[in-house]
């Protein structure tokens, strides 16, 4: 008798292209235990994720490590790039979008808040001024985010969170009206209105820089509190500094909370 096996596709897949803080890990000229670690999970490029559904693939932030990340993951298609904010560790790889413009022979849709888009236009003026609209050059197609929007079948809901003295975007990803994951790579705390938006979220990805408090980022204990308050099904910590070694930190976490690492892929 023939047995049919059907593979159920995930609604959404997320790959951590990088999980490190703005300096990456190891830090330059540092001899601490984490920077000298031989555990591959302690090698952290700057924080970014790749989001995939069956009809679309997009990137959140273009880090200074984008070229290395794309090569590491054999990335051959990008339908769009969205940005959390304009700090260097989140935008400096913008020019590396050019290869994906060339491969698809089309402009690259880029999504950002009005403030972040203004910064992108200023810093990468040569890409936005229309003077270099060649097939093998970066050709951004700008979209300012002021409300929820869609890329393919994925609905993306922006949520403002404080990051030091500025407000930046985190994102909630949904399909068919069902919220699947939330991504807050850089935040000092999560406001109550945003907590309410993500209650019971299946997957929460959130900033956890170090053990000690920080003026711009969540500490490990603060990130754990957000995971608890939101009743997230699973939580993954990212934007990690060199204070948190992977193996020893994982031992401190409940079973549904993990320290993310570069190359980790999760399905929802």
Q: What is the pLDDT of residues 178-201, one digit of tens each?
A: 999 999 999 999 999 999 999 999
Q: Which residue has the tokens 């790749």?
A: 50
Of 214, 260, 44, residue with least CA distance to 35: 44
Q: First vs last Cα of the chain: how many Å apart? A: 33
Look at the block and give the residue holding tokens 């290869």: 99
What's the token pair of residue 94?
């913008």
Placement of tokens 């880090």 in the chain? 63
Residues of the chain with pLDDT under 70: 1-9, 132-133
Order of all β-strands in the sheet with 149-151: 149-151, 154-163, 166-175, 178-184, 203-207, 234-238, 257-259
Residues in the chain: 268
Check residue 9 and give its pLDDT.
66
35-64: pLDDT as tens digits: 999 999 999 999 999 999 999 999 999 999
Q: What is the pTM of this model?
A: 0.95
Q: Return the SS3 of 205.
A: strand
User: For the domain bounded by 13-267, which CATH number is listed?
Assistant: 3.60.15.10
């Amino acid at each position: 008798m023939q047995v049919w096996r059907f593979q159920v596709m995930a609604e959404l897949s997320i790959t951590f292209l990088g999980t490190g803080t703005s300096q990456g890990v190891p830090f330059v000229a540092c001899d601490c235990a984490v920077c000298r670690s031989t555990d591959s999970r302690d090698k952290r490029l700057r924080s970014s994720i790749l989001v995939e559904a069956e009809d679309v693939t997009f990137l959140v932030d273009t880090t200074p490590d984008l070229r290395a990340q794309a090569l590491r993951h054999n990335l051959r298609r990008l339908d769009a790039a969205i940005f959390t904010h304009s700090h260097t560790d989140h935008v400096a790889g913008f020019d590396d979008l050019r290869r994906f413009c060339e491969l698809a022979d089309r402009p690259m849709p880029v999504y950002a808040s009005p403030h972040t888009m203004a910064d992108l236009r200023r810093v990468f003026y040569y890409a936005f001024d229309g003077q270099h609209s060649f097939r093998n050059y970066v050709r951004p197609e700008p979209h300012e985010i002021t409300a929820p929007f869609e890329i393919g079948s994925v609905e993306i809901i922006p949520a403002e969170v404080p990051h030091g003295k500025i407000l930046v975007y985190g994102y909630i990803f949904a399909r068919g009206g069902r919220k699947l994951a939330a991504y807050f790579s850089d935040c000092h705390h999560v406001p109550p209105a945003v907590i309410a938006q993500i209650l019971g979220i299946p997957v929460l990805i959130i900033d956890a820089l170090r053990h000690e408090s920080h003026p711009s980022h969540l500490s490990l204990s603060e990130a754990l509190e957000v995971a608890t308050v939101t009743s997230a099904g699973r939580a993954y910590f990212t934007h990690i500094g060199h204070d948190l070694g992977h193996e020893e930190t994982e031992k401190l976490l409940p079973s549904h909370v993990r320290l993310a690492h570069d190359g980790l892929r999760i399905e929802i």
